[in-house]
């Protein structure tokens, strides 16, 4: 509950800075965000980090802590040609790719169950391109300490920034 509250706090901050409504952000029973008028949104959280994005086009966001996991996950997340695009397998690349794919799926209202239908097709200096079914999604990354955040915009690159919130004072 605390992580979800922290993510909702980040969402309220996004709403305030973007001129979007401050409340009324609802989710479908499966968790996919409902747009609010022209505003699309997405949230993500880990134990100690929360992220949110609001835009006038479909968007998705994901945050993960970079830490070693089971090595069999490399093959579950990407094909060999994707690892070649990234310059090899390591945990920083793994979580950058994982967050990129999850953010791209969220931008299309889909969950991680569709991961196998996502492919990294281009790696640029400022943005990556992920293909999901017949769609191409632009994904931007930000490293924040031991975390990686990915923001995906369906129609265009999304402007965004990171703000450190204090969980002791910024929660309702």
Per-residue pLDDT tens over the stretch 117-165 = 999 999 998 899 999 999 999 999 888 889 999 999 865 555 556 666 5
- Give how far Cα 98 sits from Cα of 3, 72, 74, 104, Å: 20, 14, 10, 10
Cβ–Cβ < 8 Å for 78, 130:
no
Q: What is the pTM of this model?
A: 0.89
Strand, helix or coil for residue 96: helix
Is the pLDDT at 166 greater than 80? The verdict is: no
What is the C-alpha to C-alpha distance for residues 10 and 163, in angstroms, rounded to an integer?
8
């Amino acid at each position: 509950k605390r992580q979800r509250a922290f993510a909702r706090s980040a969402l309220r901050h996004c709403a305030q800075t973007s001129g979007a409504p401050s409340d009324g952000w609802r989710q479908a029973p499966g968790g996919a965000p409902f747009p609010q008028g022209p505003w699309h949104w997405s949230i993500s959280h880990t134990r100690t980090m929360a992220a949110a994005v609001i835009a006038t086009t479909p968007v998705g966001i994901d945050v993960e802590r970079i830490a070693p996991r089971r090595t069999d996950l490399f093959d579950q997340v990407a094909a060999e040609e994707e690892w070649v695009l990234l310059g090899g397998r390591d945990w920083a690349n793994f979580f950058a790719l994982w967050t990129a794919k999850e953010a791209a799926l969220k931008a299309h209202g889909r969950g991680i169950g569709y991961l196998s239908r996502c492919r990294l097709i281009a790696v640029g200096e400022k943005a990556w391109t992920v293909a999901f079914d017949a769609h191409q999604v632009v994904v931007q990354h930000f490293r924040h300490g031991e975390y990686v955040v990915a923001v995906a915009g369906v129609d265009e690159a999304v402007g965004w920034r990171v703000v450190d919130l204090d969980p002791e004072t910024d929660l309702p």
